[in-house]
Amino acid sequence: MEEGSLTPREELREIVTQLKNLLTFDHDLGLDAPPLSEASLSYLEKGPSMAGSLETLKEAVMDCRRCRLSQSRTQPVFGEGDPRAQLVFVGEAPGKDEDLSGRPFVGEAGRLLTRIIEKGMNLKREEVYICNVVKCRPPGNRDPQRDEIETCLPFLEKQIRLIRPKVICTLGRIAAKSLLGREFRIKAERGKWQSFMGIPLMPTFHPSYILRKPEMEKTLKGMVWSDIQAVMKRLGLEVRKNAQ
């Protein structure tokens, strides 16, 4: 492979492999190499496992009691999808259906999001990654409060760091505001590229917003489709006419 063409993950793998070769070479020669435990050897053997790390993170989220939402939730909703997805959708917080099932975006808004992914983007839901800023349902579907967002955000940051998607698409004002760390005017600013942890971020409307405004459904869906097309172009996906 040409120099400079490695992705950060490939580069890390390369470093780990070279380190392993160096250490085992010294070890075989009986040189004064640092002792290699079985666990270190196995880690070096396999390389960093992204899926494994996401599982570890999920365990921490499932046990989390860092904020008041842990008292009223049925269960946390970690997120789901391809751990190596190129695209991550980030919503606000689980609703009732998600709280009961433990899966993100499975209610009415979720069905609309799934249609956007499958009919609009021509992808399978399992090919992207779907999660929320806040992992536990705020009671009565109220907005998550600032301290709840701040407490939960490190989980999302870690999730994004592990998945390392090419693009993030935030759904709704609160998701965009939380990731960008500033007030966000969804009507004025949706459809304009932003950045989160160096990853291009496309903010669009939340599917629930479309469902709450039936009189504007066509207009809003058109805007979301235009934002999704920008995401698809960035990912090098074919944009089909009349796909929405």
Site for ligand URA, rule CB under 6 A: 91-95, 98, 104-105, 107, 109-110, 132, 208
Closest approach, Cβ 95 to ligand URA, in A, equals 4
Q: How far is the CB of 229 from ligand URA (least distance, A)?
A: 22
> Element (H or E) spanning 203, and its range?
strand 199-204
Which phi and psi (to 5°) does residue 46 adopt? -85, -25
Q: Which is nearer to ligand URA, 23 or 90 (CB)?
A: 90
Nearer to ligand URA, 83 or 94 (CB): 94
Least gap, CB of 200 to ligand URA (angstroms): 21
Contact between 100 and 122 under an 8 Å Cβ cutoff? The reply is no
CB-wise, 23 or 110, nearer to ligand URA? Answer: 110
Cα dihedral: 117, 119, 125, 127 (round 10)? -80
Smallest gap, in angstroms, from Cβ of residue 92 to ligand URA? 4
